[in-house]
Structure 1
Amino acid sequence: MSETTPQHRAKRPRSAIAGPYGHPFHPILVTIPIGTWAASLVFDIIALASDDPAPFVVGARVLILIGIVGAVLAAAIGLVDYAQLARGTAARKTATVHMALNLGVTVLFLVNLLLRWSADDDEVSIVGFILSIVALGALGVSGWLGGKLAYHYGVRVADERTQAEGFR
């Protein structure tokens, strides 16, 4: 693979904050919002079934906040990777949709958090609960696109010569 092709550039970090070659930071950081937002939905479900929902309602709120902070960090690093993708390529178009969905999901969880802060701790915000389900559905689609970027297009994945070293 030529050192100057768009595909080669997509595999190499633009700066050290994106992570070293073959070990990008963005996929690691996305586990924060994915995990905390999924856990917040579990807390909502437990709160709906609980005689004392307050600890779970507050816990869900805190988890959503942690997820928003994690999403901002993941987005910042993802943007560095995005900048390496050549315009007009299928990888760039996929990454644009991936990014737009993630920004939309983050906005939904921000609205969700604001609704929950204005609600009582003694019951689950049904609107917040529904927003979580919708946002997590969109996050699943975005995650599928992120997987396509890494596993299908090889964005920020070591090139085949490096990968072949593991099979010698």
Structure 2
Amino acid sequence: MTDELHQAKRPMSAALAGPYGHPFHPILVTVPIGAWVASLVFDVASQFVSTPGFLAMGSVWLIGIGVVGALLAAMVGLLDLLTIPRGTAAFRTGLVHMGLNLAVTVAYVVGFFWRQNSYGQADAVALGPLLLSAVSLAALAVSGYLGGKLAYHYGVRVADESTQAAGYRR
């Protein structure tokens, strides 16, 4: 294993980013992903029910929870990114992944404040904020694909093959 690959598998700080072979970033990203998917479901559902206000209000809360979760995941993800040697394909992929995630988070912050004008009203979610959420979620899916490429293709923060092989010995 090259020194660069070995470096990308080891945490910068095990206490902050998770121990070798078990990074915290993948578990933390489930919070914003789940919250933002659920918020879009609430947005769409608000278009079809007789009392959409509760769903619209729930969507605002879910967006806020997702933003807080995204900021936590971003801090830990940055630590993982800094373990990747600069000038490599993995590092460039990590930069695009991070840039997309930051853009998505900013879009959800914008959506959160855009919805504040109608917060507490009994109306369904307006088309503009609903479309912003849908586009943001699509961008998040692209970023998630890149995050998967970092882990599954490039092996960033994944245990090396000799460590993995121990799980298959009888």
Q: Same fold (TM over 0.5)?
A: yes
Give the equivalent residue in structure 2 for 1:92: 91
Equivalent AA in structure 2 for residue 90 of structure 1: A
Give the equivalent residue in structure 1 for 2:12: 14
Give the equivalent residue in structure 2 for 1:122: 122
Size of the alignment, in residue pairs? 166
- Mark the runs of 5 or more structure 2 residues left unpaired by the alignment: none
Cα distance in 2 for partners of 1:135, 1:112 equals 10
Q: Secondary structure at the match of 1:118?
A: helix
Give the equivalent residue in structure 2 for 1:162: 163
Equivalent AA in structure 1 for residue 62 of structure 2: L
Equivalent AA in structure 2 for residue 81 of structure 1: D
TM-score (norm 1): 0.97
Superposed CA deviations along residues 41-65 of structure 1, whole A, max 9, x for unmatched, are 0111111101000110000000000
Cα distance in 1 for partners of 2:41, 2:60 equals 12
Cα distance in 2 for partners of 1:150, 1:98 equals 12
Equivalent AA in structure 2 for residue 165 of structure 1: A
Superposed CA deviations along residues 135-159 of structure 1, whole A, max 9, x for unmatched, are 0000000000000000000000000
Equivalent AA in structure 1 for residue 96 of structure 2: V
What is the Cα-based RMSD across aligned positions, in Å? 0.8
Report the Cα offset of residue 166 of structure 1: 1.1
Equivalent AA in structure 2 for residue 107 of structure 1: V
Report the Cα offset of residue 125 of structure 1: 2.1
What are the residue-to-residue correspondences of 1:62-101 with 2, within 5 Å?
A: 62-101=61-100
- Mark the runs of 5 or more structure 1 residues left unpaired by the alignment: none
Identity of aligned pairs, percent? 57
Report the Cα offset of residue 102 of structure 1: 0.1
Superposed CA deviations along residues 65-97 of structure 1, whole A, max 9, x for unmatched, are 000000000000000011111110010000000
Equivalent AA in structure 2 for residue 68 of structure 1: V
TM-score (norm 2): 0.96
What are the residue-to-residue correspondences of 1:3-42 with 2, within 5 Å?
A: 5-15=3-13, 16-42=15-41
Give the equivalent residue in structure 2 for 1:106: 105
